[in-house]
């Protein structure tokens, strides 16, 4: 019985530490081109080692910016959930459901407030961890609060 509990505890520790390491592995600059309802969207994402995501994109109708976070699941399944958007017109927040395809690409589909977009698209890594994600996408997302010392 003690042996089974030890194995269970070791498994829980491994699972609890897996998400941050995957987020760190995904950190860097990424680009995408995807077909949406109104035409092609292109853009750039910056993912930091904490799993926070900042995105600038362009659709046929407008430029937009989103911010959110990464959700990591087993089997190379990754979600990019956007929680806020800035745009001059209405825009439904994206939620990308992806499968990791090696270190350099994610194969994804999008579900937004309108529904699922059937076309698959690829998000490709174009650079490793940027020196300052905040400096590259100032104004995209609200500033994160720094811990009080």
CATH code reported for the domain at 21-136: 2.40.128.120
User: Which residues are CB-neighbours of 129 under 8 A, at least 6 positions away?
Assistant: 27, 28, 48, 49
Going from N- to C-terminal start, the domains of the chain cover: 21-136
Cα end-to-end distance, the chain, whole Å: 44
Query: What pLDDT tens digit does each residue of the chain (149 aa) get?
Result: 555 444 444 443 444 444 445 555 899 999 999 998 889 999 999 998 889 999 999 999 999 999 999 999 989 999 999 999 999 888 899 999 999 998 899 999 999 888 888 789 999 999 876 544 445 566 667 665 554 55
Instruction: State residue 131's pLDDT score.
Output: 47
Instruction: State residue 22's pLDDT score.
Output: 53
**Strand locations in the chain (E):** 28-36, 39-47, 52-58, 63-72, 77-87, 95-100, 105-112, 115-127
Sign, CA dihedral 49-127-103-119, equals positive
């Amino acid at each position: 019985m003690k042996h089974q509990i030890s194995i269970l505890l070791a498994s829980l520790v491994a699972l609890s530490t897996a998400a941050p390491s995957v987020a760190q592995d995904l950190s860097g600059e990424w680009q995408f081109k995807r077909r949406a309802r109104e035409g092609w969207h292109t853009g750039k994402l910056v993912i930091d080692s904490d799993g926070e995501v900042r995105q600038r994109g362009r659709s046929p109708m407008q430029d937009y910016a989103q911010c959110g976070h990464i959700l990591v699941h087993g089997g190379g399944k990754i979600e990019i959930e956007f929680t806020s958007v800035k745009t001059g017109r209405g825009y439904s927040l994206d939620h990308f459901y992806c499968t990791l395809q090696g270190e350099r690409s994610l194969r994804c589909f999008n579900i937004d407030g309108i529904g699922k977009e059937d076309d698959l698209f690829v998000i490709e890594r174009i650079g490793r961890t940027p020196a300052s994600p905040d400096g590259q996408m100032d104004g995209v997302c609200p500033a994160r609060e720094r811990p009080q010392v």
